[in-house]
């Protein structure tokens, strides 16, 4: 049956006897299996080497198809459940689902759904059976993805206060390259939003013709108009997720241009912009992502309280400004203030107080006054930026709608020296972490360290590929990729005694066993003229310090098409709720260096059994 079906699909293409490489690719696509061009091309050429021609026959094509699609590891599995090695009856498929895929609830209906969805041969489908062709298609499908199906949609409780969630956050969103001379571009905002990012950063400066501009101040990065940025955000804010977007304004504009910003925010975003509290004017706890669906929030310094700005709502605040005190707290950090100048400017003397790299000797805190346009200040509702002084100060004075930004170096010291206070703080207040100013090449820190202590907005340079962004993408694949992930209970509870270094009673040990079977159509090595590589797989765990682990497979020599390992790796994980697992495939170039071929990262608790 299988052969008849196969010939019925392909014979039309062979009316003229033979086909070339392009027709071969088209025909493989028609057979609805994923193919990699480099591998098909290599197998195609290998077939031709014997014949010294440019085209292949129907039998050659069948051999190529079987070589690439009929993987031996699938055959072994199929044969274990199919008595005649040709067909799986629905009862045998149910047995397979229960024993291999841990689908304990699997029944006749489940099997039938799979057969109807994946069995390509009509005759077999009608008999409620599955051929090897159907089995391959099922095994290669999303339904057999290692990522849990029900985690691909929003499944967590979205009615907790905002501070109870990890929030996908970007740093200097407008940059698409380095931090000094590279371009600023609207694409930075589009691509971050399409990835589900929910907290964007906008650095605003006075521009000509009373038009505020966005760029990395005191550097040579190019400028884009604030108005254009807000138009792009308006267009893409809710394409990937319905949940609220926070605009973190790094505001360096004069009150006059701040009014222009407020005007653009209101006129362009319209009803999407949150301009008043939801329900009660007296805010005792933050609203939930659910209550703020399809809303855009402004995060900026604010004059006075929410209650005061609500009383002013219908009055004309044009031309009015207020003052906010900002503490300059000298610290021995080796990081600049987030927006310290990275190249000297003539007017640096004027700006000393505002942009002082914070590694001067300890002095008393300096207070400086910042002027803020009331029109902009009143748009800040639940996300008021407050300078972080200390955990004690926050506990005594900070309101639930006030949040802090802390640089990575200072935050890392807190993790080391006062983790419990840090966690107590993040259980109450939204905390944003940002990269140190010396990362001029837009490199990133490891976000896991800050998630471990409950920091909600761990801001990364989205434009920079590498392990930190892979962890970010992996973590936020969870909960339907909506950009909000409910923190574990021990990071939401104000009385928690959890710390990453000492998990204590919060440990829920889980044993994890990973069987690495095979790879298929891996990217060939850059050094290979054909489709070869020497693949090696690294399985890595990220989480609290005692859960960090790495294990490595053996190297399979010169095989990127279908390397086979059959190796098992075991791990014990103390805090599965915070753990991510990363599978990284590399090409062993020499004993000391490997070339990256690909990776996949996901939360440990989103890992499918089977």
Question: What residues are labeled active site?
Answer: 171, 216
Q: In this structure, what are the phi and psi dihedrals at residue 388, rounded to the nearest 5 degrees?
A: -80, 125
Count of positions (residues) in the chain: 610
Taking the C-alpha atoms of residue 235 and residue 111, their distance in angstroms, rounded to an integer, is 42
Other CB atoms within 10 A of residue 298 CB: 27
- Residue 118's contacts (CB-CB under 8 Å, 6 or more residues apart) are 130, 134, 135, 137, 138, 141
How are beta strands 213-214 and 224-225 bridged, if at all? antiparallel
Determine contact, residues 540/584, Cβ cutoff 8 Å: yes
Please give the structure tokens belonging to residue 119.
């069995």
Q: 94 phi and psi, to 5 degrees?
A: -60, -45
Q: How far is CA 309 from the centre of its chain?
A: 36
Q: What is the DSSP string of 506-537?
A: G---EEEEEEEEE--SPPPPTT-SSS---EEE
DSSP string, 388-410: ---HHHHHHH--TTEEEEEEHHH
CA distance 104 to 336: 56
The pairing of strands 384-385 and 402-407 is parallel
The pairing of strands 296-299 and 321-328 is unpaired
Nearest CA to 601 out of 486, 468, 453 is that of 468
Residue 430 near residue 163, CB atoms below 8 Å: yes
- Of 378, 414, 385, 584, residue with least CA distance to 499: 414
| Segment holding 432, helix H or strand E | strand 431-434
Q: How far apart are CA 407 and CA 99, in angstroms?
A: 50
């Amino acid at each position: 049956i299988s052969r008849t079906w196969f010939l019925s699909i392909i014979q039309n293409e062979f009316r003229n006897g033979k086909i070339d490489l392009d027709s071969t690719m088209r025909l493989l696509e028609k057979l609805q299996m994923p193919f990699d061009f480099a591998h098909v091309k290599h197998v195609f050429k290998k077939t031709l080497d014997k014949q010294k021609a440019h085209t292949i026959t129907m039998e050659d094509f069948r051999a190529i198809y079987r070589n690439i699609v009929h993987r031996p590891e699938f055959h072994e599995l199929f044969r274990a459940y199919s008595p005649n090695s040709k067909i799986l009856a629905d009862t045998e498929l149910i047995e397979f689902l229960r024993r291999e895929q841990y689908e304990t609830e699997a029944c006749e209906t489940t099997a039938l759904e799979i057969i109807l969805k994946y069995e390509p041969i009509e005759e077999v489908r009608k008999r409620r059976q599955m051929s090897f062709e159907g089995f391959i298609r099922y095994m290669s499908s999303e339904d057999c993805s290692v990522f849990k199906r029900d985690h691909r949609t929003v499944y967590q409780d979205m009615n907790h206060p905002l501070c109870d969630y990890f929030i996908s956050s970007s740093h200097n969103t407008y940059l698409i390259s380095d931090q000094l001379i590279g371009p600023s571009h609207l694409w930075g905002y589009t691509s971050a939003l399409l990835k589900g990012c929910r907290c964007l950063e906008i650095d605003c400066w006075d521009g000509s013709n009373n038009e505020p501009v966005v760029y990395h101040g005191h550097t040579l990065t190019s400028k884009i108009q604030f108005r254009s940025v807000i138009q792009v955000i308006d267009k893409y804010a809710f394409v990937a997720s319905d949940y609220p977007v926070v605009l973190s304004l790094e505001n360096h504009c004069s009150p006059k241009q701040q009014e222009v910003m407020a005007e653009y925010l209101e006129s362009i975003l319209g009803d999407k912009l949150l301009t008043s509290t939801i329900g009660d004017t007296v805010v005792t706890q933050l609203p939930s992502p659910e209550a703020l669906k399809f809303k855009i929030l402004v995060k900026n310094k604010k004059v006075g309280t929410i209650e005061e700005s609500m009383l002013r709502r219908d009055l004309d605040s044009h031309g009015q400004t207020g003052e906010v005190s900002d503490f300059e707290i000298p610290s021995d950090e080796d990081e600049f203030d987030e927006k310290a100048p990275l190249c000297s400017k003539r007017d640096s003397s004027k700006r000393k107080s505002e942009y002082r790299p914070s590694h001067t000797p300890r002095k008393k805190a300096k207070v400086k006054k910042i002027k803020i346009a009331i029109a902009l200040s009143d748009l800040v509702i639940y996300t008021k930026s407050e300078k972080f002084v200390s955990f004690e100060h926050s506990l005594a004075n900070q309101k639930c709608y006030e949040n802090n930004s802390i640089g990575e170096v200072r935050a890392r010291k807190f993790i080391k020296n006062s983790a419990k206070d840090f966690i107590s703080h993040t259980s109450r207040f939204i905390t944003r972490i940002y990269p140190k100013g010396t990362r001029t090449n837009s490199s990133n820190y490891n976000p896991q360290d800050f998630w471990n202590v409950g920091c909600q907005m761990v801001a990364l340079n989205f434009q920079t590929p590498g392990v930190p962004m892979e962890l970010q993408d992996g973590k936020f694949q969870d909960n339907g990729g909506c950009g909000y992930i409910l923190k574990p209970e021990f990071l939401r509870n104000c009385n928690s005694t959890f710390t990453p270094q000492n998990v204590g009673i919060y440990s829920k040990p889980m044993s994890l066993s990973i069987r690495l079977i095979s790879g298929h159509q891996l990217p060939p090595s850059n050094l290979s003229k054909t489709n070869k590589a020497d693949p090696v797989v690294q399985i890595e765990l990220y989480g609290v310090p005692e859960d960090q682990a790495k294990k490595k497979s053996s190297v399979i020599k010169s095989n990127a098409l279908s390397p086979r390992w059959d190796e098992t790796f075991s791990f014990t994980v103390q805090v599965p709720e915070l753990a991510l697992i990363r599978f990284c495939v590399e090409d062993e170039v020499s004993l000391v260096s490997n070339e990256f071929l690909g990776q996949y990262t996901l939360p440990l608790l989103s890992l499918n059994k089977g």
